[in-house]
Amino acid sequence: MYVLLVYDVKQARVGKMLKLCRRYLNWIQNSVFEGDITEVKLKELLANAHGFLDLDEDSVLIFKSRSQHWLEKQVVGQERNRLDTFL
């Protein structure tokens, strides 16, 4: 399935969250990832995130779609992922 993941986590945990998400999805903007992923792999990602996130402070939104086909993406301004390799 296609997944869009957006997180808003405290600065202290941003690095860990970024690194974790990169193992499963493609970075498209500051704190936004997308990609094709199985339910099992998504559960794995979230189980890992639960290990260090503070759910009283942090927030992760996940939008799932059976296929990317149902979503049209429009980019205004910079496409951040072009810089991905430099970060």
Q: What is the binding site for a second copy (CB under 8 A)? A: 4, 6, 8, 28-32, 46, 49-50, 53-66, 70-80
56 annotated binding-site participant: no
**Beta-carbon-side half-sphere exposure of residue 49 (alpha carbons within 13 Å):** 26
Residue (15 or 52) nearer to a second copy, CB: 52
Largest CA distance in the chain: 36
Task: Quote the least distance from Cβ 30 to a second copy, whole Å.
Answer: 4
Task: Quote the least distance from Cβ 85 to a second copy, whole Å.
Answer: 17
Token pair listed for 36: 């094709």
CB 1 within 8 A of CB 39: yes
3-state secondary structure of 3: strand
Q: Which residues are annotated as a binding site?
A: 8
Q: Which residues are annotated as a binding site for Mg(2+)?
A: 8
